[in-house]
Structure 1
Amino acid sequence: MAEHDTEGRYLLDNQQSEAGIRFGALAELFDPVTFRHVDALGIGAGMRCWEVGAGGPSVPLGLAERVGPTGSVVATDIDVSWTKDIAGGAIEVLSHDVAADPPPAGGFDLVHARLVLVHVTDRAEALRRMIQALRPGGRLLLEDADPKLQPLLCPDESGPEERLANRLRNGFRTLMAARGADLAYGRTLPRMLREAGLSDVQADAYFPITSPACTILEDATVRQIRPLLIEHGLATDEEIDRHLANVATGRLDLATAPMISAWGRRP
């Protein structure tokens, strides 16, 4: 999902050219985790799913495979640039703000959001609307980052390249926080689901410590936020060039923040 800042622009704008690269890297990193949970929840033929803040196409397509021609998938986002081409068959694509717009009509067997709510200012209202959209017995699966739980791009800070990488990652977190992101939101998900009245709540967490997809993700992310890092005095042009060159070597062990997955059932 695109991340909105206080001046009406986007920090990670779906329409920027790097967005497609980021979505591909995020899919490679996290789709296996997401679909491990989706499959464990028993999502299958004939079911109806709502993918919130879809961003890229991979999760809606994976859900459509599971529900088949007798099921349906509604994929929503504020900006549907990267999902509009998959509309048709079992998949409906809608422009939608989860915290402001009514849920799509009809109840859902699964409502899923990945790396969305951490960026939404009115998270409580978004969560209320997602739970409202569940059928009795329907499942909510929320997956969100917790950058404060593991804030480093390079957990093994063994040299100047890793120290520079971690300083720029700190700048990224500063930009996120300034736009209303809750950098410790992921850890709260199990409690939020229980307090919202869901039953059978469970959660786990995952993050890669080194992966080629992490390298791709970091390059695309830094290129997207480069002007803001410079504008806010968080990095210089020279530092960003040096960091991108270090990333390009493939020798840095780059991690992500932990992604916490929490799920529960509407009674």
Structure 2
Amino acid sequence: MTDDTPQPTGNEYLLDNQQSEAGERFAALSALFDPWTFRHLEGVGVGAGWRCWEVGAGGASVPAWLGGRVGPTGRVVATDIDTSWVGGASEGGFAVLRHDVASEAPPPGGPFDLIHARLVLVHVADRDKALRSMAGALRPGGWLVLEDADPALQPLVCPDEYGPEQELANRLRQGFRELMRQRGADLAYGRKLPRLLREAGLADVEADAYFPVASPACTVLEEATVRQVRDKLVAAGLATDDEIDRHLANIAAGGLDLATGPLISAWGRRPAA
């Protein structure tokens, strides 16, 4: 059997944190997914004194929330390959470290009671290695909570495709997914998380999914994402400038019900020694 998973074409990350749209995307992702994420983190019992590792933090909202939960007796370390938007301890009671989960040893402060990553592994080339590294950094009884997209389950940004504006939006989303695929993203990764957690030796594994269909945050996220990848879509022949301008105008007109792909959350516990 051959592995037909596309390999990355280079080290360039499609949604680079250095671009101005990154902050808009992080704010929209927080509005969409933070309540869902916090529900799962509360569910595994995170509380005072816990040691937590937030992987690929992006923005500050999740590590800041964790810092409030663990209090002064706990510790939260937030890592990312680009920490430009994370902030730091003075803002939310957490430490920040530049770190690549796929190629570096876990950060200081472990073993951890909780390790969490949201919308990270789907973009990582060696995601299996990264997952094993996280699972290995748990203390006995500690929890790994992974949340990742599965755009192959629901590939449309406009599920109600009733007119040319919606058809254009979905065509551009198809182009965006192709750019992700070319860079090695696994567009069916989310559904695999329960199995992968079990294969990593974790117990009490569960999973569920969240699927926003329309919200102001979905609109902000779509506009920022399209602007961020505009040049790459055009360069790859996946869209024209005119198509992108029309889509952005359609978004601004307010007549599109914009969705996201399902976010699948899975969690498991390292068995006690």
Q: 1:230 aligns with which of 222, 230, 234?
A: 234
- 1:191 paired with 2:195, answer yes
CA deviation map 1:46-95 (0-9, x unaligned): 10100000001100001111111111100000000011x32347411000
Greater shift, 87-96 or 120-129, is seen at 87-96
What TM-score, normalized by structure 2, do the two folds share? 0.94
User: What is the aligned counterpart of 2:223 among 219, 222, 225?
Assistant: 219
Report the residue type matching 1:186 in the other structure.
G
The whole-number CA distance in structure 2 between the counterparts of 1:262 and 1:10 is 25
Distance (Å, rounded) in 2 between the aligned partners of 1:11 and 1:265: 32
Residues in 2 aligned to 1:244 and 1:91: alpha-carbon distance in whole angstroms: 37
Secondary structure of the residue aligned to 2:14 is strand
Aligned to 2:102: 99
Contact 2:14 2:229 in 1 (8 A): yes
Q: Deviations over 1:94-139 (max 9, x none)?
A: 0000010000122100000000000001111000100111000000
- Counterpart for residue 60 of structure 1: 63
Counterpart secondary structure, 1:11 = coil
Superposition deviation, residue 9 in structure 1: 2.5
Give the deviation of 1:196 after TM superposition.
1.0
The one-letter amino acid paired with 2:256 is L
| CA distances 1:204-259 after superposition (whole Å, capped 9, x unpaired) | 00010000000000000000000000000000000000000001122211000000
State the percentage of identical aligned residues: 72
Q: Give the letter aligned to residue 152 of structure 1.
A: L
Partner of 1:87: 89
Q: How many residue pairs get matched? A: 263
1:18 touches 1:220 (CA, 8 Å); kept in 2?
Answer: yes
Kindly provide the CA deviation profile for residues 145-187 of structure 1, in whole angstroms up to 9, marking residues without a partner as x: 0000000000000100000000000000000000000000000
Question: Which residue of structure 2 lines up, in the alignment, with residue 135 of structure 1?
Answer: 139
Q: Distance in 2 between matches of 1:90 and 1:31?
A: 18
Q: Which residue of 2 aligns with 1:120?
A: 124
Bigger Cα displacement from structure 2, 87-96 vs 25-34: 87-96
* CA distance in structure 1 between the partners assigned to 2:269 and 2:199 by the alignment: 12
Alignment partner of 2:53: what SS?
A: strand
Partner letter of residue 142 of structure 2?
G
Select 1:158's aligned residue among 136, 156, 162. Answer: 162
Shift of 1:5: 5.7
Give the Cα separation in 2 of the matches to 1:47 and 1:104: 16
